[in-house]
Structure 1
Amino acid sequence: MNKVPLTVTGANKLRTELDELKTVVRPRIIQAISDAREHGDLKENAEYHAAREQQSFAEGRIAEIESKLSNANIIDVTKTDANGKVIFGATVEIEDIESGKVVTYQIVGEDEADIKQGRISVGSPIARALIGKEAEDVVIVKAPGGNIEYEILSVEYI
């Protein structure tokens, strides 16, 4: 299986969630199942069935996170020598040449992408246009509404 790029921050968030699921959520669900069993007939015990469903979701999420971490290529952008070029993990400030609107994006893996928090997937059209470019370069992004020109104002490795 191909390695999936992941930032150090993204990997840490997944590890934190995994730890929470294993040390807090899983024991709580096991206790809920145990308590529900004490109520008698399991066929008609709604508490038991709800706890088993929660257990199924939690175990599925644990397996999903473990898989993501085992297939991750964790990249620490602060330890790369990119010489001002836009690379995976870089934070890029760009300006729409036509409208003058300035936005800042961090280029991250698919699982970490969240446009509301300024994190875009490395596979997105904007990120693909930016990769390998430097500050003051002009890039053209092919968008559904037509081509958009952006000027790269700054590139940081945070």
Structure 2
Amino acid sequence: MAEVQYYTKEGLEKLKEEVQYLKTTGRSIISNAIAEARDKGDLSENAEYDAAKEAQGHHEDKIRKLEDALANGRLLDESKIDTSKVLALSKVTIKNSKNGATMTYQLVSESEADLKAGKISVASPIAKGLLGKKVGDKTEITVPAGKIEFEIMEISR
């Protein structure tokens, strides 16, 4: 059984839109590529046809995985998030104790993670180190660059 993933409203909508696109436009594009390759002659020696069929298989796998994610996805009501401690979907402002730099991240599911938008996966080392902590808590987190101590400055929705 697949693992339950929690999504924001926009993350769940984005997932639904992607599945819809892949099922309609994506399948149409691949179908056209297969038909075009088929028209080029002998299928037993047609590398283009083989590549198009392989792409179709990958495409269908992706649709299945996304549909599984949708089936096991749960929408979190952001208005009911407890802001007394860090949880999934919390927005957390942390301060690097060493250099004083502050960063704000929202903890989201892996599929919604986007570092440029300030969204990190709850499965990331930083998020794992922050989960359950409260404002004022200090935590040492092991990242690829070594161990860094962070202080939780603020928790919000």
Aligned to 2:107: 107
Superposition pairs of residues 44-55 of structure 1, within 5 angstroms: 44-55=45-56
Would the aligned equivalents of 2:83 and 2:155 in 1 still touch at CA under 8 Å?
no
- The worse-fitting range, judged by mean Cα deviation, of 124-133 and 22-31 is 124-133
Query: What's the TM-score once normalised by structure 2's chain length?
Result: 0.83
Alpha-carbon distance in structure 1 between the residues aligned to 2:36 and 2:129:
56
Superposition pairs of residues 111-126 of structure 1, within 5 angstroms: 111-126=111-126
Alpha-carbon distance in structure 1 between the residues aligned to 2:54 and 2:125:
39
Alpha-carbon distance in structure 2 between the residues aligned to 1:71 and 1:93:
29
How large is the RMSD of aligned CA atoms in angstroms? 2.2
Q: In structure 1, what residue type is equivalent to 2:58?
A: F
Superposition pairs of residues 57-72 of structure 1, within 5 angstroms: 57-72=58-73
Query: What's the TM-score once normalised by structure 1's chain length?
Result: 0.82
Would the aligned equivalents of 2:9 and 2:75 in 1 still touch at CA under 8 Å?
yes
Would the aligned equivalents of 1:91 and 1:104 in 2 still touch at CA under 8 Å?
yes
Q: In structure 1, what residue type is equivalent to 2:24?
A: T
Q: In structure 1, what residue type is equivalent to 2:149?
A: E
Aligned to 1:18: 19
Instruction: Specify every segment of 5 or more residues in structure 1 that has no aligned partner in the other structure, as ranges.
Output: none
Runs of 4+ in structure 1 deviating by more than 3 angstroms, as ranges, are: 114-117, 132-135
Instruction: Specify every segment of 5 or more residues in structure 2 that has no aligned partner in the other structure, as ranges.
Output: none
Name the count of aligned residue pairs. 154
Q: In structure 1, what residue type is equivalent to 2:74?
A: N
Would the aligned equivalents of 1:129 and 1:139 in 2 still touch at CA under 8 Å?
no
